[in-house]
Amino acid sequence: MSAGYYLQQNGFDTEIFELHSSSGGLCTSWKRKNYLIDGCIHFLTGTSPKENTYQFWNDLLDMPSVDFIYQDTHAVVEDESGKRVSLYSNVDKLTDELLAIAPEDKKQILSW
């Protein structure tokens, strides 16, 4: 849809086809067995004017008018034994989480 928009903005005639039952491209969700896979709504990059991709979103919609809700956690990953790790939005909380589950990787965790 974005490509169609940009082409239209530059004088090209476009016709957009959607394979999914609803539009959205990467910003959509789908079901696989008993799971709902959310393709973007929980982790949409470029929502801050400081980010490089912000202008792309702002070209498509009026970003200042959108009320974003920033979640504390991007995702929680659980392995087959039931051990969980939370991928926090806050870098300090994420660092603490990673150090708690893998103190042996401290050097690598603290390197970024």
Whether residues 49 and 66 fall in one domain: yes
112 and 79 in a common domain: yes
Q: Is residue 11 part of a domain?
A: no
How many domains does the structure of the chain reveal? 2
Alpha carbon 49 to chain centroid, angstroms = 16
**59 within a domain of the structure (yes/no):** yes
**77, 65: one domain:** no
Are both 85 and 61 inside the same structural domain?
Answer: no
**In this structure, are 90 and 66 located in the same domain?**
no
Domain annotation covers residue 105: yes
Q: Does residue 88 sit in helix, strand or coil? A: strand
Q: Which token pair is 112? A: 């970024």
Taking only the tens place, the pLDDT of each residue in 7-63 is 998 999 999 887 767 666 656 677 788 877 766 655 677 888 998 889 888 888 899
Instruction: Assess if residue 82 is contained within a domain.
Output: yes
Rounded to an integer, what distance in angstroms lies between the CA atom of residue 59 and that of residue 85?
36
Residues 78 and 59 in one domain: no
pLDDT of residue 53: 86
Higher pLDDT, 100 or 45: 100
Taking the whole predicted model, whether its pTM rises above 0.85 is answered as no
Summarised one tens digit per residue, pLDDT across range 58-95 is: 888 899 998 887 888 888 888 889 889 999 989 999 99
User: Which residues make Cβ contacts (< 8 Å) with residue 46, sequence separation at least 6?
Assistant: 52, 53, 54, 56, 57
Q: Which amino acid is at 27?
A: C
Contact in structure between 15 and 8 (CB atoms under 8 Å): no
Residue 76 shares a structural domain with residue 66: no
Name the residue range of residue 61's domain.
Answer: 25-70
Residue type, 3: A
